[in-house]
Structure 1
Amino acid sequence: MWYTLALLSSLTFGLGGFMMKVSSTKRGSTAHLLWGLYLSGTIGFLVWVLSTDSWVINVEVVLAGFVIGFGTAMGNLLFMHALEHGPASLTSPVVNSNVVFTIGLSVTLYGEQLSYFEWLGVSMLVLAVLMLPIDPNEKLRIRNLRWYMLVLTATFLFFLRNGGLKVTEELHLPNAMILLISYFFALLWFSIEIFRRKNKNLTRTVKRTGVYWGLGSGIFSFFGMQIYVIAVSNGPASIVAPIFSTNSLVVALLSIWIFRERISLLQTISLFVLFLGLILTRL
């Protein structure tokens, strides 16, 4: 069951990521996009917590919520800044490599055991994630050293989110409540960000586009993260995490289908590696 949930979490979160890409394609405001994402996500987790009677407030839960919220909010912000200093074809795979840290955490700290085929499958999933964003037609040139600091910091911040949820699960803390606090924290962060930029010359259409697609993205983000939490609580994070990280492949496939984006030979190989890796993790 956990394996199916892990696949579903990747698909759902990937749909949310695709909506972010649509907003970017339509030139929507990034700040308003993320504000809308965390608004609908916060509402989703609030409804979930209240409907499942899992409202818990204590020091541990609030602290974990702030740490994970800081990771997701600042991770997204630094990722967007990194794209201003380096190519997306390098920025995306490096940031997605945070899954390696989650695997290491699960195996070394919590003693999760993987079979030979599972190790091979996990390795292929990680390889597929690293390969897919690489487009040989894009110049892989780093513009300045600031890119390295932004990308490496963003990678660590996203690990705070994904790896942090593994830690809180092992501590038997309510992850739905923690995600509610983390999304609310991110919502406040981008509310302040929008207020700071209120004097910038952004048209109403640009703002509306960002908010609308952000709201839709937040709904799928909520479902994706909640399903991921359930999958991690029932299965090994050393397998669930790399399956979840393949959500970027969902974005790529939808982009190829909807926007008729061309796919390179290397990207085709990465898709084959992905499907083979998924098969091996079930042997």
Structure 2
Amino acid sequence: MWFVFAVAAATCFGMRGILYQWTSQRPLDRNLMLFGVYLSGTVIALAGNLFAGQAWSKGAMIGILIGAFSFVANAAMYKGYAVGKASLIALFTGLPPVVVVIAAYLIWGETLNAWQIFSFIIVIIGLLLIKYSQDLKQGQLKGIQWGVLTMLFFSMTDLSSKQATLAGANTFPLLSVMYGTGAILFGLQWVISQYKTSRKMARTPIQAVESAEGLVSAAAQMEAAPTQWSRSKTLGWGMFVGISNIAGMIFLIPAFRGGVTGIVSAISAMNVVFVLLYARFYLKEAMSPREIAGLSTALIGILLLRLLA
């Protein structure tokens, strides 16, 4: 059953990646939108526990760590989609399993059997084939630093999630703490950014436009600039996007509880496929034969994991 949960998590996270990429190109406040994502998760997790009645335990407090790591990972991924190529950032969202499988061995002594190792390697090779070499050749590495941060902190999110299941944490209490922590962090970041903006505007003197040409130029720039989304619209959209985020975590926690950490992480990382298909057919990014081979290889690896796990 853990395999089904992992695949469902990958599907939800793929939708999250698509929504993040689309949203990153819109004129809205990033911190307020992401605050909405985590506020939505908090509300859904608390409401879910009202019906499920799951017990709270000390293990649920690990959600504070998960929330902090997820805060950095989601902020980095969103920033990466805003400034970099969608397929390059998507690649790094697919690489955390490499870190996770090594860390799981060092921390918990988890090992893979020969067939699992073989399948895992096929998945990773597929993910690497998808975009890595082509982007290096073309020099299209803008935003790579955000991709690296995304990879590292999603790895720590996965590892913390596994540790929480080992500590006996139930899904909804754990997610309530996790999303509550993320909401507080993004809320604080939004408040700080608003404060800095207001201070900057107060200190900046208003410059009079001395020529008619200057007036025309300023007016033209104002007309050309897209209308900034209102706070209510931004928050509401963030809460909608947050549904895909917490849905993925609701599936991922049980998957970690029943499956091998590195394998579950590898399957959930297949959300990269959804983002790449979106980049190809909606954003019209070219897809080379190497990328098609990578997608096919990664999918074959997932099928082998299902058959041999």
TM-score (norm 2): 0.77
Cα 1:13–1:94 change in 2 (3 A) is: closer
8 Å Cα contact 1:38-1:187 kept in structure 2: yes
Q: Is the 8 A contact 1:87 1:140 kept in 2?
A: no
In the alignment, does 2:36 pair up with 1:36?
Answer: yes
Corresponding residue for 1:115? 113
Q: Aligned equivalents of 2:81 and 2:246: distance in 1?
A: 25
Partners of 1:19 and 1:216 within 8 A in 2: no
Q: Partners of 1:133 and 1:225 in 2: how far apart?
A: 26
In the alignment, does 2:11 pair up with 1:11?
Answer: yes
Matches within 5 A, 1:75-94: 75-80=73-78, 92-94=90-92
**Would the alpha carbon gap of residues 267 and 152 (structure 1) be closer, same or farther in structure 2, given more than 3 Å must change?**
closer
**Structure 1 pair 127/210, CA: closer, same or farther in 2 (3 Å)?**
farther
Greater radius of gyration (CA): 2
Instruction: Write out per-residue CA displacement over residues 100-142 of structure 1, whole angstroms, 9 at most, x where no aligned residue.
Output: 2221233444344433222121112223333434483684366
What is the rounded CA distance, in whole Å, between the counterparts of 2:142 and 2:228 in structure 1? Answer: 33
Match of 1:50 in 2: 50
**Contact kept in structure 1, 2:35 and 2:187, CA below 8 Å:** yes
Task: Tell me the matched-pair count.
Answer: 278
Residue 157 of structure 1 pairs with residue 153 of structure 2: yes
1:140-178 alpha-carbon deviations (Å, 9 max, x no partner): 36679xx75x65554332222111111111222224322
Decide whether aligned partners of structure 1 residues 86 and 260 sit closer, same or farther in structure 2, where only a CA change above 3 A counts: closer
Task: Give unpaired runs (5+ residues) of structure 1.
Answer: none
8 Å Cα contact 2:94-2:271 kept in structure 1? no
Deviations 1:52-72 (A, max 9, x none): 1124154x532x121111100
Go from structure 1 to structure 2 and tell me whether the alpha carbon gap of 1:266 and 1:33 turns closer, same or farther (over 3 Å shift): farther
Cα distance between partner residues in 2 of 1:215 and 1:128: 33
Name the CA shift for 1:215/1:128 in 2 (closer, same or farther; >3 Å): farther
Q: Judge conservation of contact 2:25–2:82 (CA < 8 Å) in 1.
A: no
Contact 1:69 1:182 in 2 (8 A): yes
Task: Report the CA distance shift for 1:16/1:91 in structure 2 as closer, same or farther (over 3 A).
Answer: closer
Which residue does 1:249 correspond to in 2?
Answer: 273
Q: Contact (CA 8 Å) 2:20, 2:78: kept in 1 or not?
A: no
The change in CA–CA distance for 1:18 and 1:87 in structure 2 (over 3 A counts) is closer
Q: Secondary structure at the match of 1:197?
A: helix
1:218 aligns with 2:216: no
**Secondary structure at 2:243 match in 1:** helix
- Give me the whole-angstrom Cα distance separating, in 2, the residues matched to 1:204 and 1:237: 42
The one-letter amino acid of 2:298's match is L
Structure 2 residue 147 is the aligned partner of structure 1 residue 173: no
Mapped to 1, the partners of 2:263 and 2:142 lie a distance apart of 35
Mind listing any 5+ residue stretches in structure 2 that lack a counterpart?
202-225
Distance 1:13 1:128 in 2: 19
Counterpart for residue 302 of structure 2: 278
Matched residue type, 1:249: V
Higher helix share: 2
Residues 188 and 133 of structure 1: is their aligned pair in 2 closer, same or farther, counting only changes over 3 Å?
farther
Determine the C-alpha separation between the residues in 2 that align with 1:219 and 1:46: 13
* Cα RMSD after superposing both structures: 3.1
Q: Tell me if the contact between 2:97 and 2:263 (Cα under 8 Å) persists in the aligned partners.
A: no
Query: Against the structure 1 CA distance between its residues 135 and 238, is the aligned structure 2 distance closer, same or farther, given a 3 Å change threshold?
Result: closer
Could you tell which deviates more after superposition, 41-50 or 24-33? 24-33
Distance 2:83 2:170 in 1: 38
Q: Tell me, what secondary structure is at the counterpart of 2:229?
A: helix
Structure 1 stretches of at least 4 aligned residues deviating more than 4 Å after TM superposition = 79-92, 141-144, 150-154, 200-204, 206-210
Question: How many angstroms does 1:209 deviate by?
Answer: 5.9
Is contact 2:67-2:179 (8 Å) kept? yes
Aligned-residue offset at 1:80 = 4.8
How far residue 244 of structure 1 moved from its aligned partner, in angstroms, is 0.3
